[in-house]
Amino acid sequence: MNKTWLIIKREYITRVRNKTFLLSTFLLPIVMMLFIFGSAFFALSSKEKLKTIAVINDPGMFKANLQGDTARLVFDFINTVDSTNFFAKGYDAVLNLNNDSIARKYTIHSKKQLGIDAQEMIEKKLDKAYENNQLQKKGIRKQTLDSISKIANGAFSVENRLTSEKGKSQEVNAQLNYGVGFGSGILIYITMFIFGAMVMRGVMEEKTSRIAEVMVSSVKPFQLMMGKIIGIAAVGLTQFFLWIVLVLILSTALSFFIPHDILQQASEMNKNMPVGGSSAMAMKLIDIKQTVSTVNWAQIISFFIFYFLGGYLFYASLFAAIGSVINEDPQEAQSLMLPITMPIIFAFIIMTSNLNTPDSTIMVWASMIPFTSPIVMMARIPSGVPWQQLVLSMALLIAGFWCTTWLAAKIYRTGILMYGKKANWKEMIKWAFKKS
């Protein structure tokens, strides 16, 4: 055990002092936070410019009902403007309302391309104006329609609460749970590739440089393999801890640099915000900041550490086994890695395609199977998972880790001292089940 600890200590100190580790640890959170806050800031600040649109050839039903958002759009009904001179007269675009009135497909000419948000807003304004015109034909006064629209706009909201069988009620935020679940799952997905490949490369380097021959003369191959795996796992946990601390510090600091008028504008935009636009993304970021306190972060972080370690240990031993049988051929490594990487990719596909339905059959089963549970279960936990399923998933992952470690250790013991011969999975399986 003392020898294994020495290997763990060596792996940890060597990698933590590496320049790549230091740069990725401190630069990644800074780049990530600048990207998030920068995207939100520019998406909101880009809406400040007022667009003036000339409207020509009105068939008679739009002028009285087509109204623009005074902060973003202004419609000017004028017939002395056309598609060739609108820019010279100070308009950003000209909307022609008579070119295909039967199909209700109109043309808007602009000097610069309209953004997705602006085009969607114009279409919604036209739809609303047509609806109001038809209602007025039925005898409803325009003043009545305007008063109803003013009252109804943003009048209702729905709060989702989970109620247990014992009657306890808890507020949930679907968007936040989606973001936390997806973020946790994608982090485990990425780190299993990064740190698993790191284990494999470390074993390959020691084998090709013949250092392994010296080391196995004083330690058992199993001790060497476990020392490398646990040492790199400790590096990963250290990096995650530093990321969390740095992200919290940076997000708190950067929030003070968002101008008050931008936050106020985001609040006003929330009422008429088109679905799917860049402003929607920016608004969601601000909403998340306001509701993030509803998440049980202690529970999320605890389970994240467990599934990160469980998933890493489950796959890292297999990556170490592959590294022990590879000589110096990169193509050999790629072919042997395929059966290991495919379940990880499959788990990511299941998570991304079923994240809106965390209790679906495929998500439940995938969160139980050790090959996919580290990614899929972390995507389900923020939305609530029955404790029976959680316990079973954790137990199966621990059992799966012991199983893969046992198999990988037997492959590692043979492969680490084998040179010049290309191994395949058939031979590796024979080594795994060969009696000592």
* Residue 322 and residue 404 in one domain: yes
Q: 226 exposed, middle or buried (CB, 10 Å; 0-12, 13-18, 19+)? A: buried
* Residue 33 and residue 122 in one domain: no
* Residue 224 and residue 287 in one domain: yes
Over residues 276-329, the pLDDT tens digits come to: 444 444 444 455 455 555 667 778 888 888 998 888 888 888 888 888 787 766
Is residue 154 in some structural domain? no
CA–CA distance, 69 with 270 (Å, rounded to integer): 13
**Which two three-digit tokens encode residue 316?**
């890292």
Is residue 301 in some structural domain? yes
pTM, whole model, 2 decimals? 0.64
Is residue 394 in some structural domain? yes
Task: Return the pLDDT at 272.
Answer: 46
* Residue 26 and residue 116 in one domain: no
Is residue 259 in some structural domain? yes
What domain range is 21 assigned to?
A: 2-42+172-433
Judged by DSSP in three states, 18 sits in coil
* Residue 397 and residue 290 in one domain: yes
Over residues 325-352, the pLDDT tens digits come to: 877 666 767 778 888 888 888 988 888 8
pLDDT grade for 75, boundaries at 50, 70 and 90: confident
Among the candidates 99, 128, 145, a domain finishes at: 145
- Alpha carbon 191 to its chain's center: 14
* Residue 181 and residue 258 in one domain: yes
Over residues 201-218, the pLDDT tens digits come to: 877 777 777 676 667 667
* Residue 178 and residue 297 in one domain: yes
Is residue 153 in some structural domain? no
* Residue 332 and residue 199 in one domain: yes
* Residue 422 and residue 290 in one domain: yes
Task: Return the pLDDT at 44.
Answer: 59
* Residue 255 and residue 369 in one domain: yes
Task: Return the pLDDT at 168.
Answer: 64
Is residue 159 in some structural domain? no
The domain that holds 103 is classified in CATH as 3.40.190.10
Is residue 15 in some structural domain? yes
In the chain, the number of structural domains is 2
Is residue 415 in some structural domain? yes
DSSP string, 29-79: HHHHHHHHHHHHHHHHHTT-S-EEEEEE---SSSTTT----TTTEEEEE-S
* Residue 205 and residue 302 in one domain: yes
Over residues 219-276, the pLDDT tens digits come to: 777 777 788 888 888 888 888 788 878 877 877 776 666 555 555 555 554 444 444 4
CA–CA distance, 391 with 398 (Å, rounded to integer): 11
* Residue 302 and residue 386 in one domain: yes
**Which two three-digit tokens encode residue 392?**
């079973």
